[in-house]
């Protein structure tokens, strides 16, 4: 049985409860695992703002999906197990992002309380001197890692995690599928309560659950 939207909201509130003192040694391991131990304070604050905006939106999407699933079960002959799998995938994604939110909060808290002493490092930039472009919104940064949502196939990635909300903002960027060790250019990027990336060349075996990141170059050698 899928968790209710209210149950999911309550889980998130409990998960993010700042009054619960963590084990700071374990929290340090979590920060390292999440890769946030090398980020500057302003970058952590940006992460908090992103997760704070994203999680409620995803919960609302989950509630809408749950209501739609209920209608399908009532009116159509669709296997319940198939629909349940879709909901559990959304459940897992929301909980994973809430965990990232908590990790960023704890990293900031650990620094403020003196548990963590960090040496932040700069962000990697990917520059093509011949074909590179400084035209907004392309900034040459790496975004991710992300996990592909349901609907992903060899030529398309569907996901709600990447930032920005204007269709076309990711056109010309480069996807690297970590799971498949292969990449492709994004030819078109469409936003509608989440992103759909259409790829220039298929990535063999690509499917829901694959891990990937985006290199946001305005132009690349392959173009």
- Decide: 72 and 141 in contact? Cβ < 8 Å: no
Provide the whole-model pTM.
0.54
Q: How is residue 186 written in tokens?
A: 């994004």
- Reported as half-sphere exposure (CB side, CA atoms, 13 A), residue 137 has a value of 12
* Residue-level pLDDT, tens digit, the chain, 223 residues: 467 888 888 888 888 887 788 999 999 999 999 889 988 888 899 888 888 888 888 888 888 877 776 665 556 555 555 566 667 778 888 888 999 999 999 999 999 999 999 987 655 555 555 555 555 555 667 888 899 998 999 999 999 999 888 999 899 899 999 999 999 999 999 999 889 999 999 999 999 989 999 988 654 434 3
Q: How is residue 100 written in tokens?
A: 């990232």
Q: How far is CA 90 from the centre of its chain?
A: 12
């Amino acid at each position: 049985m899928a968790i209710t939207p209210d149950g999911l909201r309550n889980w998130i509130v409990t998960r993010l409860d700042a009054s619960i003192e963590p084990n700071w040694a374990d929290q340090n391991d979590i920060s390292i695992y999440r890769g946030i131990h090398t980020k500057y304070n302003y970058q952590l604050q940006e992460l908090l703002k992103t997760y704070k905006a994203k999680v409620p939106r995803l919960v609302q999407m989950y509630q809408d999906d749950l209501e739609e699933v209920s209608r399908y079960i009532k009116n159509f002959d669709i296997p319940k197990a198939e629909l349940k799998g879709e909901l559990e995938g959304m459940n897992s994604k929301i909980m994973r992002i809430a965990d990232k939110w908590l990790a960023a909060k704890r990293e900031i808290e650990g620094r403020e309380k003196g548990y963590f002493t960090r040496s932040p490092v700069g962000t990697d930039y990917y520059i093509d001197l011949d074909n590179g472009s400084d035209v907004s919104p392309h900034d040459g940064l790496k975004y991710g890692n992300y996990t592909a949502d349901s609907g992903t196939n060899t030529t398309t990635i569907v996901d709600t995690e990447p930032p920005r909300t204007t269709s076309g903002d990711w056109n010309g960027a480069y996807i690297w599928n970590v799971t498949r060790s292969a990449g492709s250019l994004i030819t078109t990027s469409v936003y509608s309560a989440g992103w759909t990336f259409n790829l220039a060349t298929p990535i063999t075996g690509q499917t829901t659950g694959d891990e990937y990141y985006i290199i946001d170059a305005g132009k690349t050698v392959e173009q």
